[in-house]
Every structure is written in structure tokens, then in C-alpha cells.
């Protein structure tokens, strides 16, 4: 039987290691402050010891990028649907301009994620060039580019070719899947928020509404002329108004769930959000819907469409940022109930 280990004395090797690798003069051997200051999480790129304001800025940037990405997917979905049913206008340029515009919106987050700079949010949970393999959501987002390239390659002067219609239908299904099938919580939203079950439908309606405004801009401002909306555009304007109504109802339900309770602190929180929510509603619904109603008779419908598209995305982004902040603030309150 061997000698018990509990009776062994410290060897000279341990003393040698301690002398050969002394602790820094500004930190004791038990101090892990330096380690925490230089440690960075692989998902965010922000060090653990960084201020909370850095993480808040990253979440707000992620919300903004996701809003533009949803508008791009909505633009692809509506254009692919129009190509699939054979009602989209003919012409190669008329088809490529909305596709390129949607690609810019969707790929903005991917481009920023490729920049090696701390504090930038990942693209669907993936940092290209820094992560070994993209997660499932990123693979789904990359797969949407395949029908996009097919539609861009098949569009000619006449879009009635059967392969163009099939590619448009696949593009619509993939885009709707990205809007509805992605994780239900928005960036920065608390996991305890009861509104997470309705976020998928909210994202779908918001993407179709925002993408529809940009597609309306592409249709209204083509041929280098700006004039009243054509009679064939009347159903399209009506659909956008219905989408705005449904989206407003869903957003009202989400804010109703997150409404503060009673007390002086709740009153201050309610008053601080009231003005910002009014501005967000004005940009998201009032300005675009007014432009849609006036487009039938207004003589500069192209400029009205541009104003409506910009205000719609800006208002949606502001509203989602406010909702993320309110959801994060209500999470500690919900945990104590």
C-alpha cells in the first residue's frame, strides 16, 4: 500500500512555479479583475466588465437592423407573390430594382457582422469569419438568397415564364418563413414577456407592411415620371391600409400587456414613454396612411411613397426600441411577483 497523500509535504516544484511566474505588481494572485476585463463573450463581442450601456446600444442596434431586415423580407415576399400569380409588371429593371433594395435591407446586418469590431450584433446569432459554423437560423437566412438569385436570373421582359413563377413562389415561402419562423422574441425583449407568443404574427404583418410601402415606392416612381396613382394600384393601397390596421391592433395588445402598474414610479414610466410612443405611432401609421389615402389624387405620389416608406421603417424601429426597453424594465418586476 502506498503512502497516504494527505501526509505528503509540498515539493520544491510548486515553489519553483510560484517564483518563476510571479503575479503582476498591480494584481494579487487571487484577483481576477484583469481576467474579467479581457474576457469577451462569443455572442456579443462585448467584455464582461464593460458598462451596461454598451450592451444596451448593441441591443438597440440589433432591433434597428432587424426592422430593416423584416422590411426586406416583406418586399421579397410580396414581389415573389406578384410574380407567382402573374400580376407583376413586365420588365427586367422593374423586377431587379425591388430585389436589390430588399437585398440591401436584409444584408445590412450581415455586412456589419463581418466587421471585426466589438459591440456589433451578430447576424442571426452568427459572426462570419469568427464562428466555425453558422447556427440553424443563419443557415435559413442564407438559404433565402438561393430563390432570390433564381428570380433575378429568370426575370426577362415577360415574367409569365413558368420557371419565373415557381421561383417567385419559393421566394415568397422562404421570406414568409423567415418572418414567421424566426425566434419569437425581439432583441432585448424579456423572456418573461407574455407577448412573445404574438411576436411571430407581429413580425409578419410588420414585414409585409414595411416591404409593401417600399414596393409601392418602386412601382410609383418608375418610368421617370411622378403622378397620381393608377387605377390598378387601388387594391394595393387598400391592402396596405388593412395591414396597417392589423399591425396597429397587435402592437396595442403588446403594449397593453406591458403597461406599468400603480404607483409613482409607474406613473413616471408611463409619462416618459407616452411622448415617444406618440412619435412612433405618428411615423408608423399616421404619415404612411395619410400618404396612401392622398395618393389617389395627389400629383406627386412618388414623393409621397418615399416619405411613407421612410417614416414607416423609422417609426417601426423606434417603436420596437421602446418596447424592448419597456420589456427589459418590466422583467425584474415580473420576477418579484
What is the C-alpha to C-alpha distance for residues 74 and 51, in angstroms, rounded to an integer? 36
Residue 171 domain-assigned (yes or no): yes
As for how many domains the chain has, the answer is: 1
Residue 96 pLDDT class (50, 70, 90 cuts): very high
User: How high is the mean pLDDT of the chain?
Assistant: 76
Report helix, strand or coil for 40. Answer: strand
Give the separation between CA 201 and CA 208, rounded to whole angstroms: 11
pLDDT at 280 over 60: yes
pLDDT (average), residues 222-228 = 52
Judge whether 318 lies within some domain. yes
* Confidence band of 177 (pLDDT split at 50, 70, 90): very high
Cα distance between residue 251 and residue 175, in whole Å: 22
Cell of 253: 395588445
Tens of pLDDT, residues 38-57: 333 444 343 333 446 677 78
Q: Is residue 146 part of a domain?
A: yes
pLDDT at residue 19 in the model:
43
- 50 to 40, 57, 165, 325: CA distances (angstroms): 9, 12, 51, 19
**Does residue 5 lie in a domain region?**
no
- Residue 156 within any structural domain of the chain: yes
Contact status, residue 212 vs residue 219, Cβ threshold 8 Å? no
Residue numbers of the domain that contains 206: 51-252+274-327
Would 8 be classed as within a structural domain?
A: no
The pLDDT tens digits of the residues spanning 303-320 come to 888 999 999 999 999 998
Q: What percent of the chain has pLDDT over 70?
A: 66
CATH number at residue 137: 1.20.1630
- Residue 46 lies inside a defined structural domain of this protein: no
Distance, in Å, from the CA atom of 96 to the CA atom of 156, rounded to the nearest integer, reads 10
Q: Name the residue with higher pLDDT: 237 or 203.
A: 203
Q: Are 62 and 188 in contact (CB under 8 A)?
A: yes
27, part of any domain: no
Please report the pLDDT score of residue 317 as a whole number. 93
Amino acid at each position: 500500500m502506498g503512502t497516504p497523500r494527505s501526509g505528503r509535504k509540498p515539493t520544491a516544484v510548486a515553489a519553483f512555479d510560484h517564483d518563476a511566474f510571479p503575479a503582476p505588481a498591480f494584481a494579487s494572485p487571487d484577483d481576477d479583475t484583469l481576467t474579467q476585463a479581457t474576457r469577451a463573450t462569443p455572442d456579443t463581442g462585448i467584455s464582461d466588465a464593460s458598462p451596461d450601456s454598451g450592451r444596451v446600444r448593441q441591443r438597440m442596434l440589433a432591433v434597428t437592423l432587424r426592422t430593416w431586415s423584416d422590411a426586406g423580407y416583406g418586399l421579397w415576399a410580396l414581389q415573389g407573390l406578384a410574380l407567382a400569380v402573374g400580376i407583376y409588371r413586365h420588365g427586367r429593371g422593374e423586377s431587379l430594382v425591388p430585389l436589390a433594395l430588399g437585398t440591401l435591407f436584409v444584408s445590412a446586418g450581415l455586412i456589419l457582422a463581418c466587421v471585426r469590431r466589438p459591440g456589433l450584433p451578430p447576424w442571426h446569432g452568427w459572426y462570419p469569419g469568427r464562428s466555425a459554423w453558422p447556427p440553424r437560423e443563419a443557415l435559413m437566412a442564407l438559404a433565402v438568397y438561393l430563390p432570390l438569385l433564381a428570380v433575378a436570373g429568370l426575370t426577362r421582359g415577360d415574367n409569365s415564364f413558368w420557371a419565373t413563377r415557381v421561383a417567385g413562389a419559393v421566394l415568397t415561402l422562404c421570406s414568409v418563413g423567415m418572418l414567421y419562423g424566426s425566434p419569437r422574441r425581439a432583441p432585448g425583449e424579456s423572456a418573461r414577456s407574455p407577448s412573445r407568443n404574438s411576436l411571430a404574427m407581429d413580425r409578419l404583418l410588420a414585414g409585409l407592411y414595411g416591404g409593401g410601402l417600399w414596393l409601392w415606392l418602386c412601382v410609383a416612381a418608375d418610368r421617370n415620371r411622378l403622378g397620381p396613382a393608377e387605377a390598378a394600384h387601388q387594391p394595393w393601397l387598400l391592402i396596405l391600409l388593412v395591414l396597417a390596421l392589423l399591425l396597429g391592433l397587435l402592437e396595442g395588445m403588446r403594449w397593453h400587456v406591458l403597461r406599468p402598474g400603480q404607483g409613482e414610479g409607474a406613473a413616471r414610466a408611463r409619462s416618459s414613454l407616452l411622448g415617444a410612443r406618440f412619435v412612433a405611432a405618428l411615423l408608423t401609421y399616421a404619415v404612411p396612411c395619410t400618404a396612401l389615402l392622398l395618393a389617389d389624387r395627389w400629383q406627386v405620389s412618388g414623393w409621397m411613397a418615399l416619405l411613407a416608406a421612410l417614416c414607416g421603417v423609422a417609426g417601426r424601429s423606434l417603436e420596437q426600441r421602446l418596447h424592448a426597453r419597456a420589456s427589459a424594465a418590466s422583467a425584474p418586476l415580473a420576477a418579484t411577483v
